[in-house]
Amino acid sequence: MLDVRDIHVAYGQVKTLYGVSLSVQPGEILCLLGRNGAGKTTTLKSIMGLLPVSEGQITLDGTELTGMQPHLIPREGVGYIPQGRRLFPELTVAENIEVGLMTRKQGADTREWVLDLFPRLRERLGQQAGTLSGGEQQMLATARALCLRPKVLLLDEPTEGLQPSMIEQIRQVILKMKSEGFAIVLVEQRLDAILAIADRAVIIENGKNVDTMDAAALKSDPGKLRQYLGV
Amino acid sequence: MDFGPHLMLASLEGAVISAILVLTAMGLSIVFGVMRVVNVAHGEFYMLGAVLTWFITSIVGGHPAIGFVAAIVVAPLLVGCLAAGADRLILKRVNYDPDRTIVATIGMLYIIQQTTLMTFGPEARPVEAPFNTRLSLPWFEWGENGFAMIWPWGLSTTSYKLFVIAAAAMVLVALWLVLTRTKVGLLMRATQQDSETAQAFGVPVGKVYSWVFGLGAGLAALGAVLVVPIQQAHYLMGHDPLLLAFIVVIIGGLGSLPGTVIAAILIGMSDGIISVFFSPTLAKIIATFLVAMVLVFRPQGLLGKIAR
């Protein structure tokens, strides 16, 4: 479904990715692992077209995303949950959802579906997004991305700074999306949160991917993790 | 004239100044709020609106109202399109970099000003108001016969000045409805809050910027169309509105639309009242002094937020 082939990316003069490849299929959770600054967030941003890809190719269902105007990429069906949530803080919950719905011209049924997934948001529709609690903000960021009815969901550290009960809720939603056939790319620091739900993991080091392994292999061989991540 | 009626007259003048000022300052504020561009050429879009109004009314014959209606539709639209084009052609090329956009808009200021001079000449051009009935205003006084309504000599305004105040209020309400109730407004506000994330949700940020820049210039031009029947159109008339609009936007809080409205009314009214009782120069001195005080004691402006 989503194929990233050997992409090279630079922030201005500073090159940050030197050839990252990954591919994810419908109903699969792919994890990006790596130390801080290894290039995980950069990889997701590059898929969204927010950073210029100088070499390599990104395709979604055979459609070339590389070089496409950034605002057209989400319309192909890529839902993005950025690091730090990046809600529109002064817009209400309802308006944040509306922005998500407008991306792929989804209607009231999608809105209902999303609000049924997160009943807490339904109670807070008129509230400014910036005044929500951390967990509610993460729910809203997830809901906003799901409003696209995306083919691929990119999640950047969705459990960062959340309490355990909230982490569990987010994890349940990710599993549900997997069972509904979404392709999911997940960046996560908390290995315990990942190992339980990931199908495969791509390990990125210094802007290159150095290894791809099944989650089962990852679990049975913790030495590898120690080697790559220092944990 | 007694003090009471005199004050009322001065307040009416102030209200007219406020009405024009609120439109120009709003244009400047929206552009800064959404695009983070300090538009130094804003006053020239105002000037262009005024000169185009003169041009349009002079080529459209018949009753002055026909030309005026044509101008109020065509001039802001034309100026808006020109500004949107300038955004595509110039501001987009410098990547909306804060320093370079200031230099770029200074360049636009001179290009627009000198082109207008070369095209339309240096003369000040009067425009006839579409209607201009003198209206005497009553004053209420507690006299020897009890409460009475009197008609003091000299206390009057014109129907056109009242129209300017009403028109500005209507434009403000319309603008507020567009920003809060429509999809276009939602796209603008989302872009204002976080342009990168907006892009990740399919918002064509480049297009939104062009629209916003056009809208800001169009508002300035609209203010100018309303003002030319009171004040003549001239190729150098853009300086004062630019300065006042900046004063208003700084006092109100950069990018805060309610703050802009409040500050525009404050500055406009004080300008009107102080000009009538003392002198226009003192009015400008006080406005500038207010800016200094705001910058010292409340740098984010009356309703501005501290940058996160």
Q: What is the mean pLDDT of residues B200-216?
A: 97
Distance CA A182, CA A221 (A): 28
Please report, to the nearest 10 degrees, the dihedral formed by the alpha carbons of residues B234, B235, B238, B240 taken in order: -60
Indicate if the pLDDT at residue B4 is higher than 90: no
Q: Residue A230 has what pLDDT?
A: 67
Distance CA A139, CA A133 (A): 10
Q: What is the mean pLDDT of residues A30-47?
A: 91
* Residue of B189, B197, B202 with shortest CB distance to A86: B197
In DSSP terms, which residues pair with A4 in a beta bridge? A22, A58
* Residue of B189, B194, B202 with shortest CB distance to A71: B202
Indicate if the pLDDT at residue B104 is higher than 80: yes
Query: The whole model's pTM is what?
Result: 0.92
CB contact under 8 A, A91 and B183: no
In chain A, residues 6-45 whose CB comes closer than 8 Å to chain B: none
Residue B36: closest CA among B81, B102, B83, B80: B102
User: Are the CB atoms for B34 and B211 separated by under 8 Å?
Assistant: no
Residue A81 phi, psi (nearest 5): -115, 95
Q: Which two tokens stand for residue A216?
A: 């089962």
* Residues with Cβ within 8 Å of residue B104, at least 6 apart in sequence: B90, B91, B94
Place of tokens 């004080």: B270
Report chain B's mean pLDDT, rounded to a whole number.
93
| CA dihedral (A83, A88, A93, A95) positive or negative | negative
User: Are the CB atoms for A141 and A91 separated by under 8 Å?
Assistant: no
Indicate if the pLDDT at residue A197 is higher than 90: no
Task: Kindly report, as residue ranges, where domains of CATH 3.40.50.300 are found in chain A.
Answer: 1-77+153-231
Report percent pLDDT > 70 for chain A: 99
Distance CA B166, CA A114 (A): 44
Residue A118: closest CA among A97, A99, A102: A97
Q: If 0-12 CB within 10 Å is exposed, 13-18 middle and 19+ buried, where does residue B34 land?
A: buried
Indicate if the pLDDT at residue A231 is higher than 60: no
Q: Residue B1 has what pLDDT?
A: 66
The string of pLDDT tens digits covering residues A134-171 is 999 999 999 999 999 999 999 999 988 888 888 888 88
Superfamily of domain A1-77+153-231: P-loop containing nucleotide triphosphate hydrolases (3.40.50.300)
Q: Residue B252 has what pLDDT?
A: 92
B189: contact with A, CB 8 A cutoff: yes
Q: Across B174-258, where does the E strand assignment appear?
A: none
* Residue of B189, B196, B202 with shortest CB distance to A103: B202
Give the single-character DSSP code of A202.
Answer: E
Q: What is the mean pLDDT of residues B9-37?
A: 95
User: What residue in A sits closest to B181 (Cα-Cα)?
Assistant: A95
User: Are the CB atoms for A19 and A189 separated by under 8 Å?
Assistant: no
Indicate if the pLDDT at residue B223 is higher than 60: yes
Contacts of B95 in chain A (CB under 8 A): none
Look up the CATH number of domain B8-129+163-297: 1.10.3470
The DSSP line for B113-146 is HHHHHHHH-S--B----S---EEE--EEEEETTE
Place of tokens 């987010």: A170
B256 — pLDDT class (breaks 50, 70, 90): confident
Distance CA A131, CA B204 (A): 27
- A183-187 vs A29-33, strand pairing mode: parallel
Report percent pLDDT > 90 for chain A: 68
| CA dihedral (A112, A115, A116, A122) positive or negative | negative
Which helix (DSSP H) or strand (DSSP E) does residue B255 occupy?
none
Query: Mutating which of A99, A140, A142 best tests the B interface, going by the most B Cβ atoms within 10 A?
Result: A99
Least-confidence region, from B51-55, B149-153, B194-198: B149-153
The one-letter amino acid at B202:
G
How far, CA to CA in Å, does A201 sit from each of A31, A147, A214, A219? 4, 26, 6, 11
Report percent pLDDT > 70 for chain B: 99
Q: Which two tokens stand for residue B21?
A: 């000022």
Residue B262: closest CA among B249, B274, B272: B249
Indicate if the pLDDT at residue B244 is higher than 90: yes
* Residue of A89, A90, A100 with shortest CB distance to B201: A100
Contacts of B201 in chain A (CB under 8 A): 74, 80, 99-100, 102-103, 144, 148
Angle between helices B205-227 and B183-193 (to 10 degrees): 110
Indicate if the pLDDT at residue B177 is higher than 90: yes
Q: Which two tokens stand for residue B10?
A: 């001065």
CB contact under 8 A, A70 and B203: no
Q: Residue A169 has what pLDDT?
A: 86
Q: Residue B307 has what pLDDT?
A: 56
Indicate if the pLDDT at residue B302 is higher than 70: yes
In DSSP terms, which residues pair with A24 in a beta bridge? A2
The Cβ of residue B47 has, within 10 Å, a number of other Cβ atoms equal to: 28
Q: Residue A217 has what pLDDT?
A: 81
B308 — pLDDT class (breaks 50, 70, 90): very low
B78: contact with A, CB 8 A cutoff: no
User: Are the CB atoms for A27 and A182 separated by under 8 Å?
Assistant: yes
Which helix (DSSP H) or strand (DSSP E) does residue A78 occupy?
strand A78-81
